[in-house]
Amino acid sequence: MKKEYFVQYSGQSIINSVDFPKDAFASISIGMTDITNDLIISLVHKMFGLPVFFVLNSMIFGYEKETLISNNIPFYEFSSDGAVIKVDSKEKLLLISKLAEELVNNGLSVFIFHGKDLSEQDLIPPKHWVDKPLVFKNLDVNKLETFLDIEEVGITIFTRSSLFDSPEKIPTYIPSDYFLNINSSDI
């Protein structure tokens, strides 16, 4: 059975939750449950390609860091349990997507950044992700094309790209095992 999702323009509170220039980025919300690593992999491949950067604010189970080290995946550690990981291969994407899926399904957010000339140090999040708006002090937003905030209840896309800057364009990027609820969408 297909999983249902809806796509809408983000509400003002979501738009204001991140300190980006409001006129430069479109903000689209995708409501869905059952965020899987296959969904994350599909979105990355269809929307961006590689490289992308994953920001894990918390690796709460402890084994995530061990997994990165044992698989020789370099990461930038910005707190005792937070990491920024440059994903530039299919193998890394598969492994990091699995970690992201577990974190998201346990109530944490995971960020994915795509842009030009980004570095791990650019993407250090604030110490407290609950503080709004989120401010990435080191990030030159002119380098950023798209930012995904993946949560247990869906995904928010902040983008400059004309390829996915409206709800009508998003279904192209969602895998076919998800079903679009047109009645709940801004389409």
The 10s digit of each residue's pLDDT in 76-103 is 998 878 899 999 999 999 999 999 999 9
So what's the pLDDT on residue 139? 94
pLDDT score, position 63 = 81
Domain regions of the chain by residue span: 3-181
**What is the structure's pLDDT at 129?**
64
Neighbours of 150 (CB within 10 A): 24
- Encode pLDDT of 44-70 as tens digits: 999 999 999 999 988 877 788 899 999
Q: Which of 156, 174, 169, 172 is nearest to 2 (CA)?
A: 174
Q: Which residue has the higher pLDDT, 180 or 23?
A: 180
> Within its chain, how far is the Cα of 26 from the centroid?
15
Q: Is the pLDDT of residue 32 over 80?
A: yes
